[in-house]
Amino acid sequence: MESSIKISTKIESPPNHVNQMIYPVVFSVAFTHLLNDLIQASLPAIYPLLKTNFELSFAQIGLISLIYQVTASLLQPWIGLYTDKHPKPFLLPLGMVSTLIGIILMALSGSFSMLLLSAALIGVGSSTFHPEASRVTRVASGGRFGTAQSIFQVGGNSGSAIGPLLVALIIVPHGQMAFAWLVIFALLAIFILYRVSHWNVKHSHNQLTKLASHHVSKFHGKKLIQALSIICILILIKFTYIASLSNYYTFYLIHKFNVSLQDAQLYLFAFLAAVAFGTFFGGPIGDRIGRRSVIWVSFIGMIPFAFVLPHVNLFWTCICAMMAGLIMSSAFSAMIVYVQEAVPGRVGMISGLMFGLMFGVSGIAAAGLGYLADKNSIEWVFGLCAYLPLLGFLTFFLPRSNTENT
């Protein structure tokens, strides 16, 4: 309780400068992002276990994944749009309660229909979390929107990396019931989000008043459609390329270079670590030089690494993958903030749209690339994906806002 009072006091003291970020809130939300995405990443990691336990077909596994992806992605913009008009600060902990129930049902499931319900509840929890948590992050940013968004994103990236590792160490050796251990993380997230929601109720109005002094560009008509369309295409490119590496990188290394599964996992971890670093540094750089500039450098800068990757030895393949992940991932926070600034007053809807699009693209791209790999080869897929960053030249047509330096 004392720590709660200490944090509350630190938050309540009015900052002397508009640009003073409220770190306790930003880091609290980032940590809950880690917990949320850890749980979300654990679900697909136990698919092999569920397939064996329930004698499921690949089509049934695909249906579980579809139910999860639909609830985790398609609901996000609608939840964000609703809460933009009708703020519901305590929706954050309530959403995590949905995840908690989903975890319990997944651990106790004895039928395929129960598995589907569990996946849907976990997906609903994620749909609620991302737009609302992104909104609180922006409110607590003190005007350093890119930096705050990067901290928030790194929390999610870390959770996505830890989830499968946790499944391998704890859940797989002890069976489906061990999925219930994730209840601990959900309860911790509920507690933290409840406190964050209290802060949001008491202080969000004052923070938004201070942030109103920041001049943001509101696009209209064709210019707004142009901006949103290009950003959506760039996100499609980014997450299709990231999906190719995240889902099939180990298969590519094993097939082409005959590395062991253990070594391939280490190379995958190195790639994911590079993605986390790129995500973190992209936001602060965007605050300094402008969102459009970061997006431009991110996509154009990775072109040589993407082109070289399918044609080099193991060492340079890993270097190119890490550099491609590092450079490309730096754009995501900048893209989120760019669109939030283009459509002020719709932070929840825009965040939900961007995160929902991210989830949806990742799932569809993984399935599509898997089909192409079966039909052609995994090396053919990596060769094809090398051309994706060329579409980053669309950034040239991305409208400049009045906050951009270049």
Best-predicted range by mean pLDDT among 54-63, 197-206, 349-358? 54-63
End-to-end Cα separation, the chain, in angstroms: 48
Residue 193: pLDDT above 70?
A: yes
pLDDT number for residue 403: 52
What token pair was written down for 79? Answer: 């939840």
Domains 19-211 and 221-397 share a fold: yes
What is the residue extent of each domain of the chain? 19-211, 221-397
Distance CA 229, CA 39 (A): 31
**For residue 14, pLDDT beyond 50:** no
Yes or no: domain 221-397 corresponds to CATH 1.20.1250.20: yes
pLDDT given at position 255: 85
pLDDT band, residue 4 (cuts 50/70/90):
very low
3-state secondary structure of 403: coil
Look at the domain 19-211 and name its fold. Growth Hormone; Chain: A; (1.20.1250)
Contact at 8 Å (CB) between 244 and 389? no
| Least-confidence region, from 19-28, 70-79, 107-116, 212-221 | 212-221
The 10s digit of each residue's pLDDT in 329-347 is 888 778 877 877 777 767 6
Question: What whole-number distance in Å separates Cα of residue 379 and Cα of residue 400?
Answer: 38
Closest by Cα among 53, 229, 174, 301 to 182:
174
68-91: pLDDT as tens digits: 877 887 788 788 778 777 778 788
pTM comes to: 0.70
CA atoms of 400 and 62, how far apart (whole Å): 41
Q: Does residue 65 contact residue 360 with C-beta atoms inside 8 Å?
A: no
Which amino acid is it at 309? Answer: L
State the Cα–Cα distance between residues 163 and 388, nearest whole angstrom. Answer: 28
Reported as a pLDDT band with limits 50, 70 and 90, residue 189 is very high
Looking at per-residue pLDDT, the higher value among 285 and 113 belongs to: 113
